[in-house]
C-alpha cells in the first residue's frame, strides 16, 4: 500500500478512461464521476483537480 494518496487511471467496462484518488489506507476519496474518451482527457481531469482543489471554497449545505 502506498504511503501517499495515489491517482489511479483505468478503462471502465464501457472502454472509457476514468480516474480515482485512493488514500494511503486504500479508501477511494475522489473519482472522475464521468468517463473520458481519451487517456489524455482523463489525465487533464487529474491535473485540474490537483491544480484547483487546494484553493477550492467549502460550501456547507444545510
Q: Which domain holds residue 20?
A: 6-54
In a domain, 14, yes or no: yes
Question: CATH number, domain at 20?
Answer: 3.30.160.160
Residue 24: DSSP 8-state: T
18 forms bridges with which residues in the sheet?
10
Domain membership flag for residue 60:
no
Count how many domains the chain has.
1
User: Is residue 59 situated within a structural domain?
Assistant: no
For residue 2, is pLDDT > 70? no
Q: What is the pLDDT of residues 7-58, one digit of tens each?
A: 999 999 999 999 999 999 999 999 999 999 999 999 999 999 999 998 999 9
Q: What is the pLDDT of residue 3?
A: 86
**Domain contains 21:** yes
- Domain assignment of residue 23, yes or no: yes
1: confidence class by pLDDT, cuts 50, 70, 90? low
- Compute the Cα dihedral for 24, 25, 30, 33 and give only its sign: positive
Amino acid at each position: 500500500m502506498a504511503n501517499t494518496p495515489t491517482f489511479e487511471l483505468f478503462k471502465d467496462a464501457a472502454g472509457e478512461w476514468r480516474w480515482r484518488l485512493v488514500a494511503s489506507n486504500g479508501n477511494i476519496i475522489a473519482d472522475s464521476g464521468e468517463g473520458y474518451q481519451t487517456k489524455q482527457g482523463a489525465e487533464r481531469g487529474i491535473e485540474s483537480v490537483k491544480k484547483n482543489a487546494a484553493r477550492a471554497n467549502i460550501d456547507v449545505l444545510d
